[in-house]
Structure 1
Amino acid sequence: MPEADAIDEVDDPVTVSTLVSDLRELGVGAGDTLLVHSSLSSLGWVAGGPPAVVDALQEVLTEDGTLVMPTHSFQYSDPSWWENPPVPDHWVDIIREERPPFRPEVTPTRGMGAIPECLRNYPGVRRSNHPTSSFAAWGAGAEEVTEDHSPSFGLGDGSPLARVYDRGGKVLLVGVGYDRNTSLHLAEMRADIDLEEETYAFPLVRDGERVSVEYTDATTSTEDFEAVGEAFEAEIGATKGTVGAAECTLIDQPSLVDFAESWFEANR
Protein backbone atom coordinates (compact mmCIF):
# COMPACT_ATOMS: atom_id res chain seq x y z
CA MET A 1 0.00 0.00 0.00
CA PRO A 2 1.41 3.47 -0.89
CA GLU A 3 2.23 5.54 2.18
CA ALA A 4 -0.36 8.18 1.30
CA ASP A 5 -3.06 5.50 1.26
CA ALA A 6 -1.87 4.19 4.63
CA ILE A 7 -2.26 7.69 6.09
CA ASP A 8 -5.79 7.87 4.69
CA GLU A 9 -6.71 4.58 6.39
CA VAL A 10 -6.47 6.03 9.92
CA ASP A 11 -7.53 9.21 11.72
CA ASP A 12 -4.39 9.18 13.89
CA PRO A 13 -1.04 7.42 13.62
CA VAL A 14 -0.96 3.80 14.74
CA THR A 15 1.54 3.60 17.61
CA VAL A 16 2.91 1.06 20.03
CA SER A 17 0.46 2.21 22.70
CA THR A 18 -2.59 2.04 20.41
CA LEU A 19 -1.52 -1.38 19.15
CA VAL A 20 -1.13 -2.62 22.73
CA SER A 21 -4.62 -1.37 23.57
CA ASP A 22 -6.15 -2.93 20.45
CA LEU A 23 -4.42 -6.29 20.99
CA ARG A 24 -5.58 -6.50 24.59
CA GLU A 25 -9.13 -5.59 23.63
CA LEU A 26 -9.08 -8.33 21.00
CA GLY A 27 -8.15 -10.88 23.66
CA VAL A 28 -4.37 -11.32 23.43
CA GLY A 29 -3.05 -11.69 26.95
CA ALA A 30 0.11 -11.90 29.01
CA GLY A 31 1.61 -15.37 28.94
CA ASP A 32 -0.09 -16.45 25.70
CA THR A 33 1.67 -18.48 23.05
CA LEU A 34 0.74 -16.51 19.93
CA LEU A 35 1.40 -17.45 16.30
CA VAL A 36 1.02 -14.32 14.17
CA HIS A 37 0.37 -14.03 10.44
CA SER A 38 0.37 -10.42 9.36
CA SER A 39 0.19 -7.68 6.76
CA LEU A 40 1.89 -4.47 7.80
CA SER A 41 0.03 -2.38 5.21
CA SER A 42 -3.35 -3.51 6.59
CA LEU A 43 -2.64 -1.71 9.88
CA GLY A 44 -2.60 1.75 8.32
CA TRP A 45 0.22 4.22 8.94
CA VAL A 46 2.34 2.80 11.77
CA ALA A 47 4.74 5.16 13.53
CA GLY A 48 8.03 3.31 13.47
CA GLY A 49 6.91 0.59 11.08
CA PRO A 50 7.49 -3.12 11.80
CA PRO A 51 9.44 -2.64 15.06
CA ALA A 52 6.41 -0.87 16.54
CA VAL A 53 4.29 -3.96 15.84
CA VAL A 54 6.86 -6.33 17.32
CA ASP A 55 7.32 -4.10 20.37
CA ALA A 56 3.56 -3.99 20.95
CA LEU A 57 3.19 -7.75 20.68
CA GLN A 58 6.05 -8.29 23.12
CA GLU A 59 4.60 -5.78 25.58
CA VAL A 60 1.20 -7.48 25.57
CA LEU A 61 2.56 -11.04 25.80
CA THR A 62 5.29 -10.14 28.34
CA GLU A 63 8.38 -12.31 28.78
CA ASP A 64 6.14 -15.04 30.19
CA GLY A 65 4.46 -15.33 26.79
CA THR A 66 5.80 -16.62 23.48
CA LEU A 67 5.60 -14.81 20.15
CA VAL A 68 5.91 -16.98 17.03
CA MET A 69 5.97 -16.05 13.35
CA PRO A 70 6.68 -17.95 10.13
CA THR A 71 10.05 -16.98 8.64
CA HIS A 72 9.91 -19.17 5.57
CA SER A 73 12.53 -18.85 2.85
CA PHE A 74 11.11 -20.39 -0.30
CA GLN A 75 14.27 -19.54 -2.23
CA TYR A 76 15.57 -22.77 -0.67
CA SER A 77 12.85 -24.93 -2.18
CA ASP A 78 13.83 -27.12 -5.12
CA PRO A 79 14.33 -24.88 -8.17
CA SER A 80 12.97 -27.55 -10.51
CA TRP A 81 9.41 -26.68 -9.48
CA TRP A 82 9.65 -22.90 -9.38
CA GLU A 83 6.85 -21.40 -11.46
CA ASN A 84 6.55 -17.69 -10.68
CA PRO A 85 8.81 -17.33 -12.55
CA PRO A 86 10.40 -20.62 -13.60
CA VAL A 87 14.13 -20.72 -14.24
CA PRO A 88 15.77 -22.25 -17.33
CA ASP A 89 16.32 -26.00 -17.01
CA HIS A 90 20.09 -25.67 -17.23
CA TRP A 91 20.06 -23.36 -14.18
CA VAL A 92 18.55 -25.93 -11.82
CA ASP A 93 21.68 -27.92 -11.00
CA ILE A 94 23.77 -24.74 -10.75
CA ILE A 95 21.36 -23.27 -8.21
CA ARG A 96 21.31 -26.50 -6.21
CA GLU A 97 25.09 -26.65 -6.05
CA GLU A 98 26.03 -23.00 -5.69
CA ARG A 99 23.47 -21.25 -3.49
CA PRO A 100 24.82 -20.48 -0.03
CA PRO A 101 23.72 -22.79 2.78
CA PHE A 102 20.70 -21.88 4.84
CA ARG A 103 21.77 -20.09 8.03
CA PRO A 104 19.02 -19.13 10.52
CA GLU A 105 20.83 -16.00 11.61
CA VAL A 106 21.54 -14.75 8.07
CA THR A 107 19.06 -16.09 5.51
CA PRO A 108 16.23 -13.61 4.84
CA THR A 109 12.57 -14.52 4.69
CA ARG A 110 10.76 -14.54 1.35
CA GLY A 111 7.12 -13.61 0.91
CA MET A 112 6.46 -13.41 4.65
CA GLY A 113 6.08 -9.65 4.91
CA ALA A 114 7.92 -6.96 6.81
CA ILE A 115 6.90 -7.92 10.35
CA PRO A 116 8.35 -11.48 10.45
CA GLU A 117 11.49 -10.24 8.68
CA CYS A 118 11.82 -7.65 11.43
CA LEU A 119 11.19 -10.13 14.26
CA ARG A 120 13.88 -12.57 13.13
CA ASN A 121 16.53 -9.88 13.77
CA TYR A 122 15.34 -9.02 17.30
CA PRO A 123 17.47 -9.73 20.38
CA GLY A 124 16.57 -12.97 22.09
CA VAL A 125 14.75 -14.42 19.07
CA ARG A 126 15.38 -18.03 18.09
CA ARG A 127 14.78 -19.36 14.58
CA SER A 128 14.26 -22.99 13.71
CA ASN A 129 16.74 -24.69 11.40
CA HIS A 130 14.51 -25.52 8.43
CA PRO A 131 15.59 -23.92 5.14
CA THR A 132 12.12 -23.51 3.62
CA SER A 133 9.69 -23.62 6.57
CA SER A 134 11.43 -22.03 9.55
CA PHE A 135 9.67 -20.18 12.36
CA ALA A 136 11.05 -17.50 14.66
CA ALA A 137 10.04 -17.26 18.31
CA TRP A 138 10.64 -14.92 21.23
CA GLY A 139 9.78 -15.30 24.89
CA ALA A 140 9.50 -18.01 27.50
CA GLY A 141 8.83 -20.85 25.07
CA ALA A 142 11.08 -19.76 22.21
CA GLU A 143 13.57 -22.60 22.57
CA GLU A 144 10.88 -25.24 23.02
CA VAL A 145 8.98 -24.05 19.95
CA THR A 146 11.95 -23.81 17.58
CA GLU A 147 14.28 -26.65 18.60
CA ASP A 148 14.49 -29.94 16.69
CA HIS A 149 12.49 -28.79 13.67
CA SER A 150 12.31 -31.95 11.57
CA PRO A 151 13.74 -31.61 8.03
CA SER A 152 11.01 -33.87 6.64
CA PHE A 153 7.37 -32.75 6.66
CA GLY A 154 8.42 -29.31 7.85
CA LEU A 155 4.87 -28.20 8.70
CA GLY A 156 3.87 -31.45 10.40
CA ASP A 157 4.25 -33.02 13.83
CA GLY A 158 7.98 -32.34 13.98
CA SER A 159 7.47 -28.62 13.42
CA PRO A 160 7.00 -25.50 15.55
CA LEU A 161 3.32 -25.62 14.56
CA ALA A 162 2.94 -28.79 16.62
CA ARG A 163 4.77 -27.17 19.54
CA VAL A 164 2.32 -24.25 19.45
CA TYR A 165 -0.48 -26.84 19.50
CA ASP A 166 1.09 -28.61 22.49
CA ARG A 167 1.24 -25.28 24.35
CA GLY A 168 -2.44 -24.53 23.74
CA GLY A 169 -1.51 -21.55 21.60
CA LYS A 170 -3.51 -19.00 19.67
CA VAL A 171 -3.33 -17.84 16.06
CA LEU A 172 -3.65 -14.14 15.25
CA LEU A 173 -4.45 -13.15 11.66
CA VAL A 174 -3.65 -9.47 11.16
CA GLY A 175 -5.18 -8.24 7.92
CA VAL A 176 -4.80 -11.64 6.25
CA GLY A 177 -7.09 -14.60 5.66
CA TYR A 178 -7.04 -18.31 6.37
CA ASP A 179 -5.04 -18.89 3.19
CA ARG A 180 -2.07 -17.56 5.17
CA ASN A 181 -2.81 -19.69 8.24
CA THR A 182 0.03 -22.24 8.43
CA SER A 183 -1.68 -24.18 11.23
CA LEU A 184 -3.99 -25.62 8.57
CA HIS A 185 -0.97 -27.33 7.04
CA LEU A 186 -0.48 -29.15 10.34
CA ALA A 187 -4.08 -30.33 10.06
CA GLU A 188 -3.41 -31.51 6.49
CA MET A 189 -0.43 -33.54 7.68
CA ARG A 190 -2.47 -35.14 10.47
CA ALA A 191 -5.54 -35.89 8.35
CA ASP A 192 -6.10 -39.29 6.79
CA ILE A 193 -5.93 -37.98 3.22
CA ASP A 194 -3.68 -38.70 0.26
CA LEU A 195 -0.85 -36.21 -0.10
CA GLU A 196 1.79 -36.63 -2.77
CA GLU A 197 5.28 -36.97 -1.30
CA GLU A 198 8.60 -36.05 -2.86
CA THR A 199 12.22 -36.05 -1.72
CA TYR A 200 14.38 -32.95 -2.03
CA ALA A 201 17.76 -31.73 -0.80
CA PHE A 202 18.90 -28.47 0.72
CA PRO A 203 22.22 -27.02 1.87
CA LEU A 204 22.90 -26.47 5.59
CA VAL A 205 25.91 -25.65 7.72
CA ARG A 206 27.04 -28.42 10.09
CA ASP A 207 30.22 -28.21 12.10
CA GLY A 208 31.23 -25.20 10.04
CA GLU A 209 30.88 -26.97 6.69
CA ARG A 210 28.28 -26.85 3.92
CA VAL A 211 26.38 -30.14 3.69
CA SER A 212 23.44 -31.30 1.60
CA VAL A 213 20.53 -32.78 3.57
CA GLU A 214 17.77 -34.86 1.99
CA TYR A 215 14.23 -34.51 3.21
CA THR A 216 10.76 -35.70 2.26
CA ASP A 217 7.75 -33.43 2.15
CA ALA A 218 4.12 -33.55 1.13
CA THR A 219 2.54 -31.43 -1.56
CA THR A 220 -0.01 -29.32 0.28
CA SER A 221 -2.61 -26.82 -0.92
CA THR A 222 -4.25 -23.67 0.40
CA GLU A 223 -7.12 -23.71 -2.12
CA ASP A 224 -9.75 -24.74 0.43
CA PHE A 225 -8.31 -22.99 3.49
CA GLU A 226 -10.82 -20.13 3.32
CA ALA A 227 -13.65 -22.67 3.23
CA VAL A 228 -12.18 -24.43 6.27
CA GLY A 229 -11.96 -21.12 8.12
CA GLU A 230 -15.54 -20.20 7.27
CA ALA A 231 -16.79 -23.59 8.48
CA PHE A 232 -14.71 -23.37 11.66
CA GLU A 233 -16.02 -19.94 12.54
CA ALA A 234 -19.61 -21.03 11.90
CA GLU A 235 -19.33 -24.15 14.05
CA ILE A 236 -16.66 -23.37 16.68
CA GLY A 237 -16.12 -19.62 16.52
CA ALA A 238 -13.27 -17.11 16.56
CA THR A 239 -12.79 -13.62 17.94
CA LYS A 240 -13.02 -10.75 15.46
CA GLY A 241 -11.75 -7.23 16.02
CA THR A 242 -9.66 -4.36 14.70
CA VAL A 243 -6.01 -3.65 15.39
CA GLY A 244 -4.99 -0.34 13.90
CA ALA A 245 -6.92 -0.36 10.64
CA ALA A 246 -6.57 -4.13 10.18
CA GLU A 247 -9.39 -6.60 10.44
CA CYS A 248 -8.08 -9.34 12.74
CA THR A 249 -9.08 -12.83 13.80
CA LEU A 250 -7.94 -14.50 17.03
CA ILE A 251 -8.26 -18.28 17.02
CA ASP A 252 -7.66 -21.13 19.46
CA GLN A 253 -5.06 -23.09 17.49
CA PRO A 254 -5.66 -26.62 18.82
CA SER A 255 -9.40 -26.28 18.20
CA LEU A 256 -8.75 -25.10 14.64
CA VAL A 257 -6.28 -27.89 13.88
CA ASP A 258 -8.58 -30.59 15.26
CA PHE A 259 -11.57 -29.20 13.36
CA ALA A 260 -9.63 -28.85 10.11
CA GLU A 261 -8.23 -32.38 10.36
CA SER A 262 -11.77 -33.78 10.37
CA TRP A 263 -12.91 -31.29 7.73
CA PHE A 264 -10.17 -32.34 5.32
CA GLU A 265 -11.03 -36.01 5.81
CA ALA A 266 -14.68 -35.31 5.03
CA ASN A 267 -14.24 -32.85 2.17
CA ARG A 268 -11.09 -33.67 0.22
Structure 2
Amino acid sequence: MTLVLQADLERDLRGLGVAAGGVLLVHASLSRLGTVVGGEQAVVRALLDVLGPDGTLVMPAQSWQLCDPAYLADPSVPPSRYDDVRAALPAYDPAWTPTRTMGLVAEALRTLPGTVRSAHPHRSFVAHGPRAAEVLARHDLDDPVGEGSPLAALHALDAHVLLLGVGYDRCTALHLAEARSGLALPTVRNGAPLLVDGAREWVWFDEPVVDDADFEAVGAVVSASGHETAGTVADAAARLVPLRALVDLAADWFRRTRGAVRP
Protein backbone atom coordinates (compact mmCIF):
# COMPACT_ATOMS: atom_id res chain seq x y z
CA MET A 1 0.00 0.00 0.00
CA THR A 2 1.11 3.54 -0.74
CA LEU A 3 2.49 5.65 2.09
CA VAL A 4 0.21 8.69 2.18
CA LEU A 5 0.89 12.05 3.80
CA GLN A 6 -1.69 14.69 4.64
CA ALA A 7 -0.21 16.88 1.91
CA ASP A 8 -0.87 14.08 -0.63
CA LEU A 9 -4.51 13.94 0.43
CA GLU A 10 -4.89 17.70 0.14
CA ARG A 11 -3.33 17.73 -3.34
CA ASP A 12 -5.63 14.96 -4.56
CA LEU A 13 -8.75 16.46 -2.99
CA ARG A 14 -8.11 19.79 -4.70
CA GLY A 15 -7.39 17.98 -7.95
CA LEU A 16 -10.73 16.20 -7.70
CA GLY A 17 -12.49 19.54 -7.33
CA VAL A 18 -13.13 19.94 -3.61
CA ALA A 19 -13.33 23.71 -3.27
CA ALA A 20 -12.61 26.05 -0.39
CA GLY A 21 -15.65 27.52 1.30
CA GLY A 22 -18.08 24.80 0.33
CA VAL A 23 -20.30 22.47 2.33
CA LEU A 24 -19.17 18.87 1.90
CA LEU A 25 -20.89 15.63 2.97
CA VAL A 26 -18.22 12.91 3.15
CA HIS A 27 -18.40 9.13 3.33
CA ALA A 28 -14.90 7.71 3.67
CA SER A 29 -13.03 4.43 4.12
CA LEU A 30 -9.65 4.92 5.76
CA SER A 31 -8.33 1.50 4.72
CA ARG A 32 -8.89 2.22 1.00
CA LEU A 33 -6.66 5.30 1.05
CA GLY A 34 -3.41 3.45 1.71
CA THR A 35 -1.10 3.76 4.70
CA VAL A 36 -2.03 7.23 5.89
CA VAL A 37 0.50 8.84 8.21
CA GLY A 38 -1.62 10.12 11.08
CA GLY A 39 -4.53 7.86 10.13
CA GLU A 40 -8.07 9.14 10.42
CA GLN A 41 -6.92 12.38 12.05
CA ALA A 42 -4.85 13.25 8.99
CA VAL A 43 -7.85 12.57 6.72
CA VAL A 44 -10.09 14.88 8.72
CA ARG A 45 -7.39 17.54 8.89
CA ALA A 46 -6.82 17.34 5.13
CA LEU A 47 -10.53 17.73 4.41
CA LEU A 48 -10.82 20.72 6.74
CA ASP A 49 -7.70 22.37 5.37
CA VAL A 50 -8.91 22.04 1.79
CA LEU A 51 -12.35 23.42 2.72
CA GLY A 52 -10.68 26.28 4.57
CA PRO A 53 -12.11 28.43 7.38
CA ASP A 54 -15.29 29.22 5.41
CA GLY A 55 -16.03 25.59 4.54
CA THR A 56 -18.12 23.09 6.47
CA LEU A 57 -17.42 19.36 6.71
CA VAL A 58 -20.33 16.98 7.36
CA MET A 59 -20.40 13.22 7.95
CA PRO A 60 -23.00 10.66 9.06
CA ALA A 61 -22.50 9.61 12.69
CA GLN A 62 -25.11 6.91 13.19
CA SER A 63 -25.44 5.03 16.48
CA TRP A 64 -27.47 1.90 15.78
CA GLN A 65 -26.76 0.48 19.23
CA LEU A 66 -29.49 2.72 20.67
CA CYS A 67 -32.24 1.37 18.40
CA ASP A 68 -35.11 -0.53 19.91
CA PRO A 69 -34.07 -4.19 20.35
CA ALA A 70 -37.20 -5.40 18.57
CA TYR A 71 -36.23 -3.24 15.59
CA LEU A 72 -32.69 -4.63 15.55
CA ALA A 73 -33.86 -8.23 16.08
CA ASP A 74 -30.38 -9.28 17.19
CA PRO A 75 -30.51 -13.10 17.54
CA SER A 76 -28.27 -12.86 20.61
CA VAL A 77 -30.97 -10.87 22.45
CA PRO A 78 -34.08 -12.94 23.22
CA PRO A 79 -37.41 -11.10 23.02
CA SER A 80 -37.99 -11.89 26.68
CA ARG A 81 -35.12 -9.49 27.50
CA TYR A 82 -36.21 -6.58 25.29
CA ASP A 83 -37.62 -4.58 28.21
CA ASP A 84 -34.38 -5.13 30.13
CA VAL A 85 -32.38 -3.80 27.19
CA ARG A 86 -34.62 -0.75 26.85
CA ALA A 87 -34.14 0.01 30.54
CA ALA A 88 -30.37 -0.47 30.43
CA LEU A 89 -29.36 1.46 27.32
CA PRO A 90 -27.70 4.81 28.10
CA ALA A 91 -29.48 7.95 26.95
CA TYR A 92 -28.32 9.45 23.69
CA ASP A 93 -25.62 12.04 24.34
CA PRO A 94 -24.44 13.90 21.20
CA ALA A 95 -21.06 14.55 22.80
CA TRP A 96 -20.41 11.05 24.13
CA THR A 97 -22.45 8.40 22.30
CA PRO A 98 -20.06 6.67 19.87
CA THR A 99 -20.82 6.00 16.24
CA ARG A 100 -21.33 2.48 14.89
CA THR A 101 -20.42 1.19 11.40
CA MET A 102 -19.49 4.70 10.24
CA GLY A 103 -15.75 4.13 10.13
CA LEU A 104 -12.78 5.70 11.86
CA VAL A 105 -12.84 8.94 9.88
CA ALA A 106 -16.38 9.83 10.94
CA GLU A 107 -15.59 8.97 14.56
CA ALA A 108 -12.47 11.18 14.41
CA LEU A 109 -14.56 14.11 13.18
CA ARG A 110 -17.17 13.45 15.89
CA THR A 111 -14.57 13.77 18.63
CA LEU A 112 -12.76 16.78 17.17
CA PRO A 113 -13.24 19.87 19.38
CA GLY A 114 -15.64 22.27 17.73
CA THR A 115 -17.65 19.56 15.97
CA VAL A 116 -21.40 19.57 16.60
CA ARG A 117 -23.87 16.71 16.25
CA SER A 118 -27.55 16.52 15.39
CA ALA A 119 -30.23 15.38 17.82
CA HIS A 120 -31.35 12.09 16.27
CA PRO A 121 -30.27 9.15 18.49
CA HIS A 122 -29.81 6.68 15.62
CA ARG A 123 -29.11 8.60 12.40
CA SER A 124 -27.21 11.67 13.54
CA PHE A 125 -24.82 13.74 11.45
CA VAL A 126 -21.78 15.65 12.64
CA ALA A 127 -20.53 18.92 11.17
CA HIS A 128 -17.54 21.19 11.63
CA GLY A 129 -17.41 24.71 10.26
CA PRO A 130 -19.41 27.94 10.06
CA ARG A 131 -22.56 26.33 8.59
CA ALA A 132 -22.60 23.42 11.05
CA ALA A 133 -25.43 24.71 13.23
CA GLU A 134 -27.51 25.51 10.15
CA VAL A 135 -27.01 22.04 8.71
CA LEU A 136 -27.88 20.26 11.97
CA ALA A 137 -30.62 22.54 13.31
CA ARG A 138 -33.45 20.12 12.54
CA HIS A 139 -33.45 16.35 12.86
CA ASP A 140 -36.91 14.88 13.43
CA LEU A 141 -37.23 11.52 15.16
CA ASP A 142 -39.84 10.33 12.66
CA ASP A 143 -38.10 11.72 9.57
CA PRO A 144 -34.37 10.98 9.98
CA VAL A 145 -33.35 11.19 6.31
CA GLY A 146 -36.14 13.22 4.72
CA GLU A 147 -37.40 16.77 4.88
CA GLY A 148 -36.91 16.90 8.65
CA SER A 149 -33.24 15.98 8.44
CA PRO A 150 -29.83 17.58 7.83
CA LEU A 151 -29.95 16.12 4.32
CA ALA A 152 -32.68 18.57 3.38
CA ALA A 153 -30.56 21.41 4.78
CA LEU A 154 -27.58 20.19 2.74
CA HIS A 155 -29.74 20.22 -0.40
CA ALA A 156 -30.80 23.79 0.34
CA LEU A 157 -27.18 24.83 0.88
CA ASP A 158 -26.06 23.35 -2.48
CA ALA A 159 -23.61 20.99 -0.78
CA HIS A 160 -21.44 18.41 -2.51
CA VAL A 161 -21.09 14.71 -1.72
CA LEU A 162 -17.66 13.11 -1.61
CA LEU A 163 -17.43 9.31 -1.73
CA LEU A 164 -13.90 8.45 -0.67
CA GLY A 165 -13.13 4.77 -1.17
CA VAL A 166 -16.81 3.79 -0.91
CA GLY A 167 -19.65 3.38 -3.40
CA TYR A 168 -23.10 4.83 -3.77
CA ASP A 169 -24.43 2.07 -1.53
CA ARG A 170 -23.00 4.14 1.36
CA CYS A 171 -24.44 7.44 0.13
CA THR A 172 -26.95 8.68 2.72
CA ALA A 173 -28.10 11.53 0.45
CA LEU A 174 -29.91 8.95 -1.68
CA HIS A 175 -32.33 8.43 1.21
CA LEU A 176 -33.46 12.04 0.72
CA ALA A 177 -34.10 11.12 -2.91
CA GLU A 178 -36.27 8.23 -1.70
CA ALA A 179 -38.27 10.66 0.42
CA ARG A 180 -38.66 13.07 -2.50
CA SER A 181 -39.62 10.42 -5.03
CA GLY A 182 -43.30 10.75 -4.13
CA LEU A 183 -43.57 7.02 -3.57
CA ALA A 184 -45.23 5.87 -0.37
CA LEU A 185 -42.74 4.49 2.13
CA PRO A 186 -43.88 2.02 4.80
CA THR A 187 -43.09 2.86 8.40
CA VAL A 188 -41.66 0.84 11.25
CA ARG A 189 -41.82 1.27 15.02
CA ASN A 190 -38.58 2.28 16.69
CA GLY A 191 -37.48 3.95 19.89
CA ALA A 192 -34.52 5.29 21.81
CA PRO A 193 -33.43 6.41 25.28
CA LEU A 194 -33.40 10.22 25.32
CA LEU A 195 -32.97 12.97 27.85
CA VAL A 196 -36.33 14.71 28.24
CA ASP A 197 -36.25 17.74 30.56
CA GLY A 198 -33.03 16.39 32.02
CA ALA A 199 -34.36 12.90 32.78
CA ARG A 200 -33.75 9.69 30.85
CA GLU A 201 -36.87 8.50 29.07
CA TRP A 202 -37.60 5.83 26.47
CA VAL A 203 -39.26 7.56 23.50
CA TRP A 204 -41.21 5.70 20.81
CA PHE A 205 -41.64 6.88 17.23
CA ASP A 206 -42.48 5.56 13.76
CA GLU A 207 -39.98 6.11 10.96
CA PRO A 208 -39.92 5.41 7.21
CA VAL A 209 -38.42 2.13 6.05
CA VAL A 210 -35.52 2.99 3.76
CA ASP A 211 -34.04 0.71 1.11
CA ASP A 212 -30.51 0.91 -0.29
CA ALA A 213 -30.71 -2.23 -2.43
CA ASP A 214 -30.70 -0.25 -5.69
CA PHE A 215 -28.35 2.56 -4.67
CA GLU A 216 -25.50 1.20 -6.78
CA ALA A 217 -27.81 1.03 -9.79
CA VAL A 218 -28.90 4.64 -9.43
CA GLY A 219 -25.28 5.55 -8.74
CA ALA A 220 -24.34 4.20 -12.16
CA VAL A 221 -26.95 6.49 -13.68
CA VAL A 222 -25.50 9.44 -11.78
CA SER A 223 -21.99 8.51 -12.93
CA ALA A 224 -23.16 8.51 -16.55
CA SER A 225 -25.08 11.78 -16.20
CA GLY A 226 -22.06 14.09 -16.33
CA HIS A 227 -22.67 15.46 -12.83
CA GLU A 228 -20.02 13.29 -11.20
CA THR A 229 -16.29 14.01 -11.08
CA ALA A 230 -14.37 10.76 -10.63
CA GLY A 231 -10.73 10.31 -9.74
CA THR A 232 -8.44 9.00 -7.04
CA VAL A 233 -7.42 10.33 -3.66
CA ALA A 234 -4.28 8.49 -2.60
CA ASP A 235 -5.12 4.82 -3.33
CA ALA A 236 -8.89 5.27 -3.11
CA ALA A 237 -11.40 5.70 -5.89
CA ALA A 238 -13.21 8.98 -5.28
CA ARG A 239 -16.40 10.56 -6.57
CA LEU A 240 -17.51 14.16 -6.11
CA VAL A 241 -21.06 15.14 -7.05
CA PRO A 242 -23.37 18.11 -6.33
CA LEU A 243 -25.92 16.91 -3.79
CA ARG A 244 -28.82 18.71 -5.49
CA ALA A 245 -28.15 17.08 -8.84
CA LEU A 246 -27.67 13.70 -7.18
CA VAL A 247 -30.90 13.86 -5.18
CA ASP A 248 -33.02 15.34 -7.95
CA LEU A 249 -31.85 12.80 -10.54
CA ALA A 250 -32.18 9.88 -8.13
CA ALA A 251 -35.67 10.94 -6.99
CA ASP A 252 -36.84 10.87 -10.59
CA TRP A 253 -35.12 7.51 -11.15
CA PHE A 254 -36.76 6.00 -8.06
CA ARG A 255 -40.12 7.38 -9.16
CA ARG A 256 -39.85 5.73 -12.56
CA THR A 257 -38.02 2.54 -11.60
CA ARG A 258 -39.45 1.66 -8.21
CA GLY A 259 -42.83 3.01 -9.21
CA ALA A 260 -42.95 0.55 -12.09
CA VAL A 261 -42.81 -2.43 -9.73
CA ARG A 262 -44.51 -1.09 -6.61
CA PRO A 263 -48.23 -0.35 -6.46
TM-score normalised to the size of structure 2? 0.95
For structure 1, list consecutive stretches of 5 or more residues without a partner in the other structure.
1-8
Give the distance between the partners of 1:30 and 1:139, measured in 2 at CA. 12
Give 1:197's aligned residue. Answer: 187
Cα RMSD after superposing both structures: 1.2
In 2, the alpha carbon distance for the partners of 1:83 and 1:198 equals: 13
- SS of corresponding position for 1:162: helix
1:232-267 C-alpha deviation (Å, 9 max, x unpaired): 221243001111110000011000100111111101
- How far has the Cα of 1:30 moved from its partner? 0.5
**Which of 107, 124, 129 pairs up with 1:134?**
124
1:69 to 45, 59, 84: 59
User: Which of 215, 224, 241 is 2:231 aligned to?
Assistant: 241
The corresponding residue for 2:244 is: 254
SS of residue matched to 1:189: helix
What do the CA deviations read for 1:95-133 (whole angstroms, capped 9, x no partner)?
Answer: 112211010001000000000011001011000011110
The residue matched to 1:97 in structure 2 has which SS? helix
After TM superposition, give the deviation of residue 226 of structure 1 in Å.
0.3
Measure, in 1, the Cα distance between the counterparts of 2:8 and 2:75. Answer: 40
Cα offset for 1:39? Answer: 0.4
Matched, 1:148 2:142: no
Which residue does the alignment assign to 1:163? 153
CA separation of 1:43 and 1:84: change in aligned 2, threshold 3 A: farther
1:55 partnered with 2:55: no
C-alpha contact (below 8 Å) 2:227/2:245 kept by paired residues:
no
CA distance in 1, matches of 2:194, 2:18: 36
Gap regions ≥5 residues in structure 2: 259-263
Aligned pair in 2 of structure 1 residues 222, 84: CA closer, same or farther (>3 Å)?
A: farther
CA deviation digits over 1:135-179, x for unaligned, max 9?
Answer: 000001001011221111101111111111110000000000000
State which of 109, 117, 126 in structure 1 corresponds to 2:99: 109
The structural deviation recorded for 1:92 is: 1.4
Q: 1:85 offset after TM fit, Å?
A: 4.7
Q: Is the 8 A contact 2:40 2:108 kept in 1?
A: yes
For residue 81 of structure 1, what is the aligned residue in structure 2?
Answer: 71
What is aligned with 1:206?
196
1:202 CA displacement:
1.2
Q: 1:36 — aligned with what?
A: 26
Distance 2:76 2:125 in 1: 26
Q: CA deviation at 1:214?
A: 2.6
Which letter maps to 1:211? E
Q: CA deviation at 1:223?
A: 0.5
Q: Which residue of 2 aligns with 1:172?
A: 162
In the TM superposition, residue 84 of structure 1 has moved relative to its aligned partner by: 5.7
2:193 and 2:75 map into 1 onto residues whose CA distance is 22
Residue aligning to 2:261: none
Q: Does 1:122 align with 2:112?
A: yes
Question: How many correspondences in the alignment?
Answer: 258
